[in-house]
Amino acid sequence: MRRTNRLGGAAAGLLASALVLAACGSDDDGGGGGGGDPSRNADATEVTLTITSNAIKGGKNTEEATWITDWVIPEFTAMKKEQGVDVTVEFEANGVDDEEYKTKIALDLQSDSGADIIGIDGIWTGEFAEAGYIEPLTEVAGEGVDDWDGWEQIPEAVQQAMSFEDQKYGIPLGTDGRVIYFNKELFAQAGLPADWQPTSWQEILDAARQLQQLDGVTPLQINAGTAMGEATTMQGFLPLLAGTGELVWNDGEWTGGSEGVTETLGFYADVYGGDQPLGDPLIQQEAQGRDTSFQMFANGELGMLIESDYLWRSVINPDGGIAPMQNRDEAVGWAKIPAREPGAGINGQDFVSMSGGTGRVLNPNTEYPQQAWELLRFMNSPEAFEAMLAGSARITPRDDVNATALADDPMLTFVAEEVLPITAYRPSLAAYPQVSVALQEATASVVSGTSPDEAASTYQSELEGIIGDDGAIAD
Amino acid sequence: MSVRQSLGVIGRYVFVAFVLAFFTLPLLWLASAPFDSAPSLTVAWPEFTLQNFRELVDNPYALRSLWNSVILAAGTVAIVLTLAALSSYALSRVRIPGRDTLLYTLLLLSSIVTGTAAMVPTFLLISELGLIDRQLGVVLVLAGGLLPTAIFILKDFMDSTPRSYEESARVYGASSLQILRQVVVPIARPGLATISVWAVVQVWGNFLVPFILLRSAEKRPAAVTMFTFYTEGGQPNLALISTFSLLFSIPVVAMYLFVNRRYGFRFHGGIKR
Amino acid sequence: MTAPSQTDPAPPGPSERSRRRPRIDDTDAAGLGRGRAAAFVAPALLLISIFLIFPALWTLYLGLTNWRLTGLAAVEPEFVGLDNYLDALTDPSFHNSLLLTLLFVFFSAVVGQSVLGFSLAWTTRRLRPSIRSLLETVVLLAWIIPASVIAFLWIALLSRHDGTLNALLGTEGTAWLLEYPMQSIIIFNIWNGTAFSMLLFSSALASVPPSQFETARMSGAGTLATLRDVVFPNIRGHILTNTLLITLWTFNVFTPYLITRGGPEGRSEILGVYIYRVALNEGALGRGAALSLIMILINLVIASVYLRLLRERKP
């Protein structure tokens, strides 16, 4: 740099004023002002509403996008027309990576704009609520929300997915449950029963040892490592942890390097340690490891795999799955995930699972809170769900819909009836994604040879760094 | 031909063959997977089908998004080329103290703005300006990010164009703009061609800016559409992705070939013996 | 800092008069004048001020806060001063990432892309037009095809299961991306980015006056001597530009994330990937902004080294 000069000086002045502007700008952008009278514009005769969701025709979640544009919008508009109200409903399609969709709607809500009805992942409820981006349904649309008859059809546990601190922020749209899938053909070759249902971790390991005798077969896939991302936590660590009777966040406290965490990591050591590991430790490190494990399962090269019903519906589905398995209905079996030993699971359960859920919230900044709430209810009516499913099977939050819609699909019926009652949900807090990464790192270090005790204490100190002074860690 | 010369020729062709293989090998997937009825992440002789293409033609956004990419790229390149040519010429010809410091600072700042950390300020700025969901907003943001680099590169080319022509043009009474358009631009053509290809490539692949700044799916470019061919669980639908990848790549390749033929590398003719 | 090419020496040869750039010439052959020059620069500067400088400074300001996109810290961001910087500088995974990035930039960009790019630009001049255009197009393809597509191509190439490379080499089951993660992404980046250097050097070579090549040939200079005495002095500015730009870009490169996710266990987590993880996955936008500034400062240091190396020895 040689010297300052006129142009440089002018530029510096410009930069300085821009900096001041920037500083002012970020002061008042602290989240949706929203609120206001829930009955504002309740008797408007011309209404415009917008729905957004991470779905797009011909792409990700195409069924949902098609249903919104081809059924919800025309039906709702016609219904309101009869009541003398001129409603225009628009749909903003997205269909991209969840993280990016989340960023986008957070930006929208932060600048007090965005669609009136927004589809979100249940796991974001807490952090959005803490940021003031969304508000409880009763705040947005009034006390009338509690009178909706649909709530009776949605199990308490499922409602939890869209709740934060005992307040309902949205209506659940769907949920899922995790099971152990197994390949019956491989099981038969290894002398294992077709109606296999383990009752302890040891029985999983025993079955894996038997499968190990088969040529070219990886006995067991328990997701581990950071490359798998949330799949490690959700399809691996957390269901196992639940089987030790612990949750990652309970009663306002985070779980540190506890006994349950150490036992869970011990299971990883049992699977991936030793001379003859029961799982393929390389898959955990590959960026496309999850895709690979799906492909292996579809090809009959993998004995057991913990996954949600997503695997059944969208991956190995012979009709439109991404790794179609022509003999899925005959070859694939499923079992509940056992606790470490009978009765050792959360709430003293013998079997455990983890669930995620999606749903829709109302934008607190909506101009028409009553009409938006009406549209949201309409989208969650039994008729709406029937139209969305249109013959295909998928677990809905409503018991009445599930009773008929899932009748032809034994796997999904199993999840709805056997798994959902025993399942648990993740905490929807802003710190969770980081905690989840710390857990993934703990599993990765065990897979590469660190002792479970050491990995657990590393996790404890990581957790302290993440939570800082803002939260509590259980002893 | 002497032994040394023929060894040189052989060496050259061995090098060319090696480079060709190195650069072609990864592209094989793009030639096989789109035509496969169940593509995976391996290169295999396809179970031939055109079904994937049919599905994309029926997709309400796929082809339109390619057109949107063309609009965004054309708009951005037009702005970048015009403004960069003007300013790099002025910066090259007139001594402005501190200009290199200024240029390099801008270059460094542009690397912040293209990163993920700046997306929030960018979004809030565009929404204050009322340009959300307008392709103009995307074009302006992209152009702002690309300009410093474009000026930086072009200034080099402007520096190395001879000035004697300008002097004579000036003697004949041409204005500065005329001189730039009719004398300087034709000489700096290879540089301008390089910049335009570079700018198109940057715009073509940019996902984050158009995704955040545009609301309606009808206006989004292909880079965003590409990311919609995943399942709810984040697994790629390789049949659609590989096919769309091919369609996605063809326009930029065609553009390169066109620019190369029409404007690029004119001067090579003069160099050859 | 000095202009890359403003101090170019007057090259030998008949074109000396027109190529020469002594002080006098800097005062403007086209009779532009300061006023008109400012008018020429103004539109670009205006656009850059609004859409680049403003958000960039705002981002740097965010780097001094604990701001996040969601959660409690989104409502009331606190001014934390240099905490983000101290956190970053004491974080072992940042050190790891910085070291990997320096290796990555040096081998893939400064050595790989520049040398291969120049060699291609030099070689293709003497090839038959058809072969030349084929070669250039293939190299260009690697650069033009969007990153999201390219990632799939390289995964298919290096896959442990039936990857093309394993099939060719007969190394069934070799997990290239796990056993040689850095080597893989370095080779990848050479493949991906060489086109720019090739284009720039092609254009640069095109601007070397043919008469100088002629002179070199007449005096019987070999290839190396021609490169040293004719080509290098003429394209010194382009070399500097090329090195500065590809260094800066390679520091920011993100595509390897799509191939290795920074793994295994952080062994390919270059800075672009690290910042993405901090800013987007962990949502710590403040820290992400702080890291961006650190990265810029490192670039500034590297740039001044380049300038020193490539600067003209004053006559």
Q: What is the 3-state secondary structure (H, E, C) of A126-156?
A: HHHHHCCCCCCHHHHHCHHHHHCHHHHHCCH
Residue of B nearest to C48 (CA): B144
Which of B113, B142, B202 best probes binding to C when mutated, by most C CB atoms within 10 angstroms?
Answer: B113
Q: What is the per-residue pLDDT for A240?
A: 96
Tens place of pLDDT per residue across chain C (315 aa):
333 433 333 333 333 334 444 444 445 666 777 788 888 999 999 999 999 999 988 888 888 988 888 888 888 888 888 888 998 888 888 999 999 999 999 999 999 999 999 999 998 888 888 888 889 889 988 988 888 889 889 988 998 877 888 888 888 888 888 889 999 999 999 999 999 899 888 888 877 888 888 888 888 888 888 888 888 888 888 888 899 889 988 988 888 988 888 878 788 999 988 988 888 777 788 888 898 889 888 988 988 888 888 765 443
Q: Is residue B53 part of a domain?
A: no
Q: Do A56 and B40 touch (CB under 8 A)?
A: no
**Domain that residue B181 falls in:** 60-263
Chain C residues whose CB is inside 8 A of the B5 CB are: none
**B207 & B235 share domain:** yes
Name the region of C183 (left: φ>0; alpha: ψ -120 to 50; beta: rest): alpha
Interchain CB contact of A27 with C (< 8 Å): no
Per 3-state DSSP, what percentage of chain B is helix, strand, and coil (rounded to 5)?
75, 0, 25
- Mean pLDDT for the stretch of residues A76-87: 94
**B159 & B201 share domain:** yes
Q: Do B109 and C244 touch (CB under 8 A)?
A: no
Q: What is the per-residue pLDDT for C12?
A: 39
Q: What is the per-residue pLDDT for C118?
A: 94
Contacts of B195 (CB under 8 A, 6+ apart): B80, B81, B84, B150, B153, B154
Which of C40, C65, C68, C70 best probes binding to A when mutated, by most A CB atoms within 10 angstroms?
Answer: C70
CATH number for B86: 1.10.3720.10
Chain A residues whose CB is inside 8 A of the B229 CB are: 59-60
Across chain A, how many H-helices and E-strands are there? 21, 17
Q: What is the distance between the alpha carbons of residues C127 and C121, in angstroms, rounded to a whole number?
A: 11
Q: Is residue B147 part of a domain?
A: yes
Q: What is the per-residue pLDDT for C19?
A: 41
CA distances in angstroms from B105 to B85, C48, C53, listed in the order given: 19, 12, 10
Q: What is the distance between the alpha carbons of residues A114 and A128, in angstroms, rounded to a whole number?
A: 14
Chain B residues whose CB is inside 8 A of the A176 CB are: none
Q: What is the per-residue pLDDT for C25?
A: 44
Domain ranges of chain A: 13-175+356-425, 178-354+429-474
Neighbours of chain C (3+ CB pairs under 8 A): A, B
Cβ of A81: how many Cβ atoms within 10 Å? 11
Q: What are the tens digits of pLDDT across the range A270-319?
A: 999 888 899 998 888 888 888 889 999 999 999 999 999 999 988 999 88
Residues for chain C: how many in total? 315
Buried b (16+ CB within 10 A) or exposed e, A241-256: bbbbbbbbbeeeebbb
Q: What is the per-residue pLDDT for C28?
A: 63
Worst-scoring range by mean pLDDT, A376-390, A396-410, B138-152, C65-79?
A: C65-79
- Residue A85: pLDDT over 90: yes
Q: What is the distance between the alpha carbons of residues B107 and B95, in angstroms, rounded to a whole number?
A: 20
Q: Do A103 and B225 touch (CB under 8 A)?
A: no
Interchain CB contact of C169 with B (< 8 Å): no
Task: Give the DSSP letter of residue A177.
Answer: -
Q: What is the per-residue pLDDT for A35?
A: 54
Q: What is the distance between the alpha carbons of residues A53 and A170, in angstroms, rounded to a whole number?
A: 14
Residue of A nearest to B120 (CA): A107
Tens place of pLDDT per residue across chain B (273 aa):
678 778 888 888 899 999 999 999 999 888 888 888 777 777 777 778 888 888 888 888 889 999 999 999 999 999 999 999 999 988 888 877 777 788 888 888 888 777 677 888 899 899 889 999 999 999 999 999 999 999 988 887 788 777 777 888 888 888 888 888 888 888 788 788 888 888 998 999 888 899 989 988 899 999 999 889 888 777 888 888 889 999 998 888 888 888 777 765 433 322 222
Is the domain covering C92-312 a CATH 1.10.760.10 domain? no
Residue of C nearest to A289 (CA): C260
C303 sits in which H/E element: helix C285-310
Supply A327's token pair: 């003999």
Q: What is the distance between the alpha carbons of residues B85 and B184, in angstroms, rounded to a whole number?
A: 9
Which of B29, B112, B213, B215 best probes binding to A when mutated, by most A CB atoms within 10 angstroms?
Answer: B215
Q: Do B86 and C120 touch (CB under 8 A)?
A: no
Q: What is the per-residue pLDDT for C288?
A: 86
The proportion of chain A whose per-residue pLDDT surpasses 70, expressed as a percent, equals 92
**B114 & B42 share domain:** no
Q: Do B113 and C52 touch (CB under 8 A)?
A: yes
Among C54, C68, C264, beta carbon nearest to A430: C68
Among B84, B164, B238, beta carbon nearest to C18: B164
pLDDT range class, residue A339, cuts 50, 70, 90: very high
Interchain CB contact of C48 with B (< 8 Å): yes
CA distances in angstroms from C102 to B32, C189, C290, listed in the order given: 36, 14, 19
Interchain CB contact of C60 with B (< 8 Å): yes
**B42 & B157 share domain:** no
Residues 105-164 (B) with a CB less than 8 A from some CB of C: 106-118, 120-122, 125, 140-141, 143-145, 147-149, 151-153, 155-157, 159-164
Q: Tell me the residues of B at the A interface, defined by beta carbons under 8 Å apart.
A: 38, 40-41, 55, 58-62, 96-99, 101-102, 119-121, 123-124, 127-128, 132, 207-208, 211-212, 215-217, 224-225, 227-238, 240
Interchain CB contact of C282 with B (< 8 Å): no
pLDDT range class, residue A475, cuts 50, 70, 90: low
Q: Do B231 and A288 touch (CB under 8 A)?
A: no
Neighbours of chain B (3+ CB pairs under 8 A): A, C
Chain A residues whose CB is inside 8 A of the C282 CB are: 433-434, 437
Residue of A nearest to B236 (CA): A322
Among C143, C203, C292, beta carbon nearest to B201: C143
Cα A273 to the chain's mean position, in Å?
A: 30
Q: How much is the mean pLDDT over chain B?
A: 84
Do A211 and A357 touch, CB atoms closer than 8 A? no
Q: Is residue B64 part of a domain?
A: yes
The most confident of A52-66, A186-200, A391-405, by mean pLDDT: A186-200
CATH class of the region A178-354+429-474: alpha beta
- Residue A259: pLDDT over 90: yes
**B42 & B141 share domain:** no
Q: Do B15 and C119 touch (CB under 8 A)?
A: yes
Among C33, C146, C153, beta carbon nearest to B26: C153
Q: What is the per-residue pLDDT for B264?
A: 57
**B37 & B100 share domain:** no
Worst-scoring range by mean pLDDT, A16-20, A110-114, C90-94?
A: A16-20
Q: Do A5 and B224 touch (CB under 8 A)?
A: no
Name the fold adopted by A13-175+356-425: D-Maltodextrin-Binding Protein; domain 2 (3.40.190)
pLDDT range class, residue A234, cuts 50, 70, 90: very high
Domain ranges of chain C: 92-312
Q: Do C145 and B152 touch (CB under 8 A)?
A: no
**B229 & B118 share domain:** yes
Chain C residues whose CB is inside 8 A of the B121 CB are: 54-55, 58-59, 62
Q: Do B98 and A113 touch (CB under 8 A)?
A: no
Structurally, how many domains does chain B consist of? 2
Strands A163-164 and A249-250: unpaired
How far does the CA of residue A106 sit from the closest CA of chain C (Å)?
7
SS3 state at A345: coil
Among C18, C25, C36, beta carbon nearest to B176: C36
Q: What is the per-residue pLDDT for C312?
A: 58
Q: What is the per-residue pLDDT for A297?
A: 95
Chain C residues whose CB is inside 8 A of the A25 CB are: 58
Q: Do B112 and C56 touch (CB under 8 A)?
A: yes
β-bridge mates for residue A3, sequence order: none
